[in-house]
Amino acid sequence: MTDLINNNFYTANSTQGCSDGIEAPVKNLTNFLPLIAILLCTYNGEKFLAEQLDSLESQNHQNWVLYVSDDGSNDQTIKILQQYQMKWPLGKLIIRKGPQKGYCQNFLSLACDPEIKADYYAFCDQDDVWLPEKLSIALQAILGRQNIYIPFLYCGRTQYVAGDLSIIGASPLFVFPPSFRNALVQSIAGGNTMVFNLSAKLLIEKAGAVDVPSHDWWVYQLISGADGDVLYDPIPYVLYRQHDGAVIGGNNSFTSKVERVLMMLEGRYHNWNTQNIHALHSVSQLLVKNHQEILKMFNALRRASLRDRFRLMEICGLYRQTRRGTWSLFLAILFKKV
C-alpha cells in the first residue's frame, strides 16, 4: 500500500485545497503506542467472522482491545469469539450482550459506554477484512493533525470485494471537504473505516444512543456539527464484502444507484432526515451556534414552498460530494423528499 507520506487526505479544517492534498508527517510509534478500543458488533456472523478476527490480529499496530457486542446470534458466532478469546491474551477480547435493537443501536451502545476507556476508538464490522496497516495509518493521520481537546474523526474509502475477497470495485471517491453542510444531506464514509479520538468519544457519550438510521452518518453529523475535525482518506484500507447477508451494501453500481433514487422517491431518504433532524435538535446544545442556525434552516427548507426550498438550500450551503449526488439532492428538494 502507499506509504502515509504519499497519502492525500481531505479534511474539514484544512487551509489547503483538496486537489493538492496534505502531507502527513510519519511518526515513530515505537515508544508511543496509544490504546485503541475496537468496537465490533456481531449478529449471525459465523461465515466471515474468523477472517475479520485474523485481520485484526495481523494489524501493524498491536496495542488494541476488542469489544464485541453480540445482538443475539443463534449460529456459531459466540463459539468463534470464545475460541479467539481463549487464544488471545487475557483481556484482549471482551464479549457482551447487545441491546437487540438493530445494528445502529448496537454500535451506539458501545460508543456511548463510558466504561470503555481508550485513547482512540474504531468501529468494526463482522464480515470485512482489514489491511495490516489500517489502524497504524489512521493513528498516524490523527496524531499528525489533532488537537486532543477537539473531537477528531478519521474515515475513508473502502475496497469492495466479493465473498471470496476478489476485488469488484471501490466506494466513490469524494473530493470536497467534509463539513456539517455536507453531513446534513450525505454520509461520506462507512463506520468500518472510522477511527476517532477520546474527545469525539466523549461527545458521542453526551449525545447518547439517539434514534437515528445509521451510526456512521450520525457520528459524521455530530462531530462536524460540534465543529470537530473530520478527515477523509481517499485510499482504502478496508476490504468491504458485498454479499447477500450484508445489512448495508456498496453504492457504486448502476443498480444500487437506481435503487437509491427509488428509495428517495418513496420517501425513505425523507424519513432518515426526519430522524437525524430530531436527534440533532435533541442535542443542539452540543452544536456550535452557526450549525444550530443551519439546522433550523434545513428543517424549514423541508416544509417550504418550491421557490423557497431552493433559496434555503443555497443559504444553507448544502452540497453532496458528486455530480450525481447533487442531482439526486435537487430531485429530493424538487419533489419535497429531502
Q: How does pLDDT run across 178-191, given as a tens digit for each residue?
A: 999 999 999 999 99
Q: Are residues 268 and 195 in the same domain?
A: no
Domain total in the chain: 2
Tell me the pLDDT of the chain averaged across its residues.
90
Q: Are residues 182 and 262 in the same domain?
A: no
What residues contact residue 143 under an 8 Å CB cut-off, 6+ apart? 27, 34
Asked, for residue 167, whether it belongs to a domain, the answer is: yes
| Range with the poorest average pLDDT among 41-45, 54-58, 247-251 | 247-251
Q: How far apart are CA 334 and CA 318, in angstroms?
A: 14
263 has pLDDT over 90: no
For cell 462536524, the residue is 224
Q: How does pLDDT run across 114-173, given as a tens digit for each residue?
A: 999 999 999 999 999 999 999 999 999 999 999 999 999 999 999 999 999 999 999 999
Listed residues 241, 265, 284: the one ending a domain:
241
What is the extent of the structural domain holding 19?
A: 4-241
Q: Are residues 230 and 279 in the same domain?
A: no
Residues 239-267 have a mean pLDDT of 70
Q: Are residues 213 and 270 in the same domain?
A: no
Asked, for residue 246, whether it belongs to a domain, the answer is: no
Where residue 204 sits, what CATH number does that domain have? 3.90.550.10
Task: Give the rounded percent of residues in the chain with a pLDDT score beyond 70.
Answer: 86
| Range with the poorest average pLDDT among 7-21, 32-46, 217-231 | 7-21
Q: Are residues 149 and 262 in the same domain?
A: no
Q: How far apart are CA 25 and CA 310, in angstroms?
A: 42
- Number of CB atoms found within 10 A of residue 110's CB: 24
Q: Which of 254, 41, 4 is nearest to 154 (CA)?
A: 4
265 has pLDDT over 60: yes
Q: How does pLDDT run across 78-101, given as a tens digit for each residue?
A: 999 999 999 999 999 999 999 999
Asked, for residue 317, whether it belongs to a domain, the answer is: yes
Asked, for residue 155, whether it belongs to a domain, the answer is: yes
Listed residues 203, 218, 241: the one ending a domain:
241
Q: How does pLDDT run across 312-329, given as a tens digit for each residue?
A: 999 999 999 999 999 999
Q: Are residues 189 and 264 in the same domain?
A: no
Q: How does pLDDT run across 99-118, given as a tens digit for each residue?
A: 999 999 999 999 999 999 99
Q: Are residues 52 and 101 in the same domain?
A: yes
Asked, for residue 247, whether it belongs to a domain, the answer is: no
Q: Are residues 191 and 317 in the same domain?
A: no
By the 8 A CB rule, do 134 and 18 touch?
A: no
Written as one letter, the residue type at 96 is: R
Write out the three cell numbers for 203.
461527545
By the 8 A CB rule, do 160 and 154 touch?
A: no
- State which H helix or E strand residue 112 sits in: none
Q: Which of 110, 112, 104, 81 is nearest to 248 (CA)?
A: 104
Residues 271-276 have a mean pLDDT of 97
Residue 5 DSSP code: G
Confidence of residue 259 (pLDDT cuts 50, 70, 90): confident
Write out the three cell numbers for 91.
483481556
Asked, for residue 275, whether it belongs to a domain, the answer is: yes
By the 8 A CB rule, do 150 and 134 touch?
A: no
Q: Are residues 124 and 191 in the same domain?
A: yes
Helix, strand, or coil here: 122?
A: strand
Which residues sit opposite 124 in a β-bridge?
40
Q: How far apart are CA 5 and CA 110, in angstroms?
A: 32
Selected residue with higher pLDDT from 129 and 255: 129
For cell 495509518, the residue is 137
Asked, for residue 248, whether it belongs to a domain, the answer is: no
**pLDDT of res. 25:** 38
Q: Are residues 134 and 54 in the same domain?
A: yes
Written as one letter, the residue type at 23 is: E
Q: Are residues 201 and 75 in the same domain?
A: yes
Listed residues 241, 272, 288: the one ending a domain:
241
Q: Are residues 199 and 266 in the same domain?
A: no
Confidence of residue 302 (pLDDT cuts 50, 70, 90): very high
**pLDDT of res. 266:** 84
Asked, for residue 210, whether it belongs to a domain, the answer is: yes
Residues 193-204 have a mean pLDDT of 98
Residues 37-63 have a mean pLDDT of 98
For 170, 236, 292, the CA distances from 159, given in Å and listed in that order, are 4, 6, 35
Q: Which of 3, 66, 60, 74 is nearest to 38 (CA)?
A: 66
